[in-house]
Amino acid sequence: MKMVGLLVLASLACASAAAQTSAGTASGGRANVCAAKDMTFDSYREIKLPAKTVFKDSGLVSDNGRDPWNPQGHVGDAKWAAFVTTDPVTLTKAKPCAESRARMLIGPLMKEPSASASDRRIYEIDDVLEYAPASGRPPVEFGKLIDDISIQAVLLNDASDPLTLAKDEPDEAAQAAKCLAGAQLVAAHEGGIVGRQTHFVVFIRHPAAEEFSYGCDEKKPNLNIAWNKARPAPVTVKLVTRAVEFLTGAPSNDTKQELAKCINEALKPDAGENSTREFGGVRIECGAFERDGGGGSATIFRRFGAYPVHDAPGAAALSDMQRASAALKSAEDAKAEESLKFAKWWLDPTIPPKVKSLMLMAARIQALADRCPTWKPNYAVIADAFTSADISAQDIQPGGKYFETFSKFAVEMSKGTEAESREEACQTAKSSYGESSSK
pLDDT category, 9, cuts 50, 70, 90?
Answer: very low
Is the pLDDT at 150 greater than 60? The verdict is: yes
Q: Is residue 336 in a domain? A: no
Residue-wise burial string across 334-373, b where 16 or more C-beta atoms lie within 10 A, e elsewhere = eeeeeeeeeeeeeeeeeeeeeebebbebbbbbbbbbebbe
Instruction: Mark whether 159 and 176 lie in a shared domain.
Output: no
**Average pLDDT value over all residues in the chain:** 80
CA distance 129 to 306: 10
Beta bridge partners of 97: 34
Q: Report the percentage of the chain scoring pLDDT > 70.
A: 81
DSSP one-letter string for 57-124: EEEEPPS-TT-TTS-B--TTT----EEEESS-EEEESS--EEEEEEEEEEBTTB--S-B-GGG-EEEE
Is the pLDDT at 99 greater than 70? The verdict is: yes
The listed range with the strongest mean pLDDT (68-72, 76-80, 197-201, 435-439) is 197-201
Q: Around Cβ 270, how many Cβ atoms within 10 Å?
A: 4
Instruction: Mark whether 158 and 256 lie in a shared domain.
Output: no
Q: Mean of the pLDDT values across residues 407-426?
A: 78
Last residue of a domain, one of 120, 144, 164: 164
Q: Is residue 154 in a domain? A: yes
Instruction: Mark whether 122 and 31 lie in a shared domain.
Output: yes
Instruction: Mark whether 28 and 123 lie in a shared domain.
Output: yes
CA distance 256 to 270: 23
pLDDT category, 18, cuts 50, 70, 90?
Answer: very low
Q: Is residue 140 in a domain? A: yes
Q: Is residue 340 in a domain? A: no
Q: Is residue 338 in a domain? A: no
CA distance 325 to 338: 20
Residue-wise burial string across 38-51, b where 16 or more C-beta atoms lie within 10 A, e elsewhere = ebebeebeebebbb
CA distance 95 to 280: 25
Q: Mean of the pLDDT values across residues 63-82?
A: 64
Predicted pLDDT at 220: 84
Instruction: Mark whether 419 and 366 lie in a shared domain.
Output: yes
Show the domain range for 45.
Answer: 2-164
Is the pLDDT at 110 greater than 70? The verdict is: yes
Using only C-alpha atoms, what is the Rg of the chain? Answer: 30
pLDDT category, 50, cuts 50, 70, 90?
Answer: confident
Q: Structurally, how many domains does the chain consist of? A: 3
* pTM attached to this predicted model: 0.63
Instruction: Mark whether 318 and 273 lie in a shared domain.
Output: yes
Instruction: Mark whether 126 and 184 lie in a shared domain.
Output: no
Is the pLDDT at 259 greater than 60? The verdict is: yes
Tens of pLDDT along 351-375? 777 777 777 777 888 888 888 888 8
Q: Which residue has the higher pLDDT, 113 or 317?
A: 113
Instruction: Mark whether 124 and 77 lie in a shared domain.
Output: yes
CA distance 391 to 352: 11
Where is average pLDDT lowest: 111-120, 254-263, 416-425? Answer: 416-425
Q: Is residue 189 in a domain? A: yes
Tens of pLDDT along 162-176? 998 877 666 778 888
Q: Is residue 53 in a domain? A: yes
Is the pLDDT at 187 greater than 50? The verdict is: yes
Instruction: Mark whether 126 and 274 lie in a shared domain.
Output: no
Instruction: Mark whether 120 and 202 lie in a shared domain.
Output: no
Q: Mean of the pLDDT values across residues 191-219?
A: 86
Tens of pLDDT along 244-253? 999 999 999 9
Q: Is 112 exposed, middle or buried (0-12, 13-18, 19+ CB in 10 A)?
A: middle
Q: Is residue 439 in a domain? A: no
Last residue of a domain, one of 294, 328, 362: 328
pLDDT category, 268, cuts 50, 70, 90?
Answer: very high
Instruction: Mark whether 38 and 57 lie in a shared domain.
Output: yes
Last residue of a domain, one of 122, 140, 164: 164
Predicted pLDDT at 1: 37
pLDDT category, 415, cuts 50, 70, 90?
Answer: confident
Looking at residue 30, the DSSP 8-state letter turns out to be: E
Predicted pLDDT at 75: 44
Please give the single-letter amino acid code of residue 62: S
Is the pLDDT at 14 greater than 70? The verdict is: no
Instruction: Mark whether 299 and 319 lie in a shared domain.
Output: yes
- Alpha carbon 262 to chain centroid distance? 13
CA distance 196 to 326: 10
Cβ contact 403:393 at 8 Å = no
